Structure 1
Amino acid sequence: MNLQDKVALVTGAGQGVGQGIALALAAQGAKVAVSGRTLAKLEATVEKIRERGGEALPIVCEVKSPESLQACVDTVISNWDGLNILVNNAQEVPLGRLLEVTDDAVTAGWESGPMATLRLMKLCYPHLKGDGVIINLGSSAAKRWDMAGYGAYAGVKEAIRSLTRAAACEWGPDNIRCNAILPHALSPALEWWLQRDPAEAEAFFAQIPQRRIGDCEQDIGRFVALLCSEGAGYVNGQSIALDGGQAFLG
């Protein structure tokens, strides 16, 4: 899992899963650009990395803005003269039943999810050629036993999985690998959901064979670090559920 001398960009890295991934990549030696909308949160992540002896850079970025995405990539390249790892984690979540979820929420979910993912992959492509790795964040929401209230969210996340597969097929000859992870992790968003609907949460836990939610760094981040390493050099175009065995993707 040695990522020494690698440069990584992680979106939505100010908290939760994005922060856990940033910490894990830095622990294996990567320089990590942590991006997101709130500078204070980004600085907190950077401080954690630096306290452990790692190198990190905070970059304020609005992933729904093409100009902001371009500026983010330019900042990474100007600071570290390269990019090896891209993690598309940022996502606004459009929750609600089909008759209730608003057009604005779905549009925000689309623009912050698959549209931002595609834009950032294209911006990073020239820098990733040769030894690049892309990790996109999907979701097992489309595999839920009851999809009520999750249709719009599952829709944007399934689009990300399709883009992941396409990138793996089209850019494999350029030695760029692209995979998607579908994590369950104790992020602020999940904690909010657990508090909002404890009855549904109890049923949710019962469907996880390991009977626990993953840790953002130890369970999700460390696996991402593995996927970015030479040890996973032949893993490409896959959607991998990091959920204690809950989802069956077959």
Structure 2
Amino acid sequence: MKLKNKVAIITGGAGGIGRGIGMAFVKEGATVAIVDLDKESGERVLKELQEYSPDSIFIQQDLSKRDELPSIVEKVADAFGKIDILVNNAHASKMASIEKTTQKDLDLSFNTGFYPTFYLMQAALPYLKETKGKIINFSSGAGIEGHPNQGPYAAAKEAIRGISRVAANEFGQFGINVNIISPIAKSEGIMEWAENNPEIYDNMLKGIPMGRIGEVEEDIGRVAVFLASKDSDYITGQTLMVDGGSIKLR
């Protein structure tokens, strides 16, 4: 029970990696607030979480509504009296070459990925100071390696990595850890992409030394548990490549 009595916020928690992290957290004793725009999926996942953590909650929220982001933190703090862990997982994006990328494409990626990450860190900071909490943000190999046709996504993900390193330097004095996961996992989005791009998917699989796509709970969720627990107290500002060895950072 590495996260016993801990309170966590997980954005994009109604499916994919967010759901996997939520399930891993509640099995380790955490109370979880999942945040998502999809009400139906959010309520379904909440029932799964409540089998282990009856007090966990679902907050329906459009993360692109920047002025409403602090209300997420306030709702969780009002409900539980504290916040120990913030997981900024949500992100929506559209694939396009740089030549064909529009301002709308860029806005979608930054408004659902980078800006919520930034403003939720800012809003949660007073509470995380009190608990010496943990922040887990998400990057992607698309940004680290510069995958074609993923300009908006890559740009926002690398912006998240940049602000996470700044946050690690600024928040360390408060005992707050800020780390980044860069995953490859069987999320709904990845599997839909794989179905539409079988040749590219097969090539990607060949580039994974472990020879498989990660499981959202067992692989990604367990690393998130580590980063949210005391086991990672002396790690901050790092990008953990939870991708089966696809990218080896130096």
Q: State if a TM-score over 0.5 links the two structures.
A: yes
Aligned residue number for residue 136 of structure 2: 135
Q: Does the CA contact (< 8 Å) of 2:164 and 2:180 recur in 1?
A: yes
Letter of the structure 2 residue corresponding to residue 110 of structure 1:
F
2:9 maps to 1:32: no
CA deviations on 1:185-215 (whole Å, 9 max, x unpaired) are 1001001110111000010000000110000
Q: Which ranges of structure 2 fall in alignment gaps of 5 or more residues?
A: none
Contact 1:35/1:61 (8 A) holds in 2 = yes
Instruction: Give, in angstroms, the shift of residue 54 of structure 1.
Output: 4.8
SS of 1:225's equivalent? Answer: helix
The SS at the match of 2:97 is coil
Check conservation: 2:29, 2:53, Cα contact below 8 A. no
- 2:41 match: 41
Tell me how far 1:168 sits from its aligned partner.
Answer: 0.4
In the other structure, the counterpart of 2:78 is 78
| CA distance in 2: counterparts of 1:54 and 1:215, whole angstroms | 25
The question of whether the paired residues in 1 share the 8 Å contact of 2:14 and 2:38 is answered with yes
Are 2:46 and 2:57, in contact at CA under 8 Å, matched by a contact in 1?
A: yes
Structure 1 counterpart SS, 2:240:
strand
* Segment of structure 1 superposing worse, 81-90 or 63-72: 63-72
- Bigger CA drift: 36-45 or 116-125? 36-45
User: What secondary structure is seen at the aligned counterpart in 1 of 2:140?
Assistant: coil
Q: For the Cα contact (< 8 Å) 1:13–1:42, is it kept in 2?
A: yes
TM-score by length of 2: 0.96
Gap change, CA 1:159 and 1:39, over 3 Å in 2? same
CA distance in structure 1 between the partners assigned to 2:192 and 2:100 by the alignment? 20
Deviation of 1:140 after TM superposition, in Å, equals 1.1
Give 1:52 shift.
3.1
Runs of 4+ in 1 over 4 A off after TM superposition: none
TM-score (norm 1): 0.96
Partner of 1:118: 118
The alignment status of 1:162 with 2:165, answered yes or no, reads no
**Is the 1:27–1:54 Cα contact (8 Å) retained in structure 2?**
no
How far has the Cα of 1:151 moved from its partner? Answer: 2.3
> More deviation in 127-136 or 60-69?
60-69
**Residue of structure 2 equivalent to 1:234:** 234
Q: How far apart are 1:218 and its partner, in Å?
A: 0.5
The secondary structure found in structure 1 opposite 2:212 is coil
Question: Secondary structure of the residue that 1:99 maps to in structure 2?
Answer: helix
1:19-56, Cα deviation, whole Å (9 max, x unpaired): 10111111111110011001111111111112235531
Distance 1:164 1:94 in 2: 23
Whole-angstrom CA distance in 1 between matches of 2:68 and 2:221: 25
- Bigger Cα displacement from structure 2, 66-75 vs 183-192: 66-75
Q: Measure the CA separation in 1 of the matches of 2:237 and 2:124.
A: 18
Task: String of CA shifts for 1:115-149, please: whole Å, max 9, x gaps.
Answer: 111100000000000411000011011344x7321
Deviations 1:196-237 (A, max 9, x none): 110000100000001100000000011101111111110100
Q: Aligned partners of 1:118, 1:220: CA distance in 2, in Å?
A: 22
Note closer, same or farther for the CA distance 1:54–1:219 as it changes in structure 2 (3 Å cut). Answer: farther
Q: Distance in 2 between matches of 1:53 and 1:59?
A: 16
Q: CA deviation at 1:165?
A: 0.4
Count, aligned residues: 249
Which AA in structure 1 matches 2:51? E
Partner of 1:58, secondary structure, is strand
Q: Is the 8 A contact 1:30 1:55 kept in 2?
A: no
Unmatched segments (≥5 aa) in structure 1: none
Q: Distance in 1 between matches of 2:239 and 2:27?
A: 24
Distance 1:34 1:90 in 2: 11
Contact 1:85 1:133 in 2 (8 A): yes
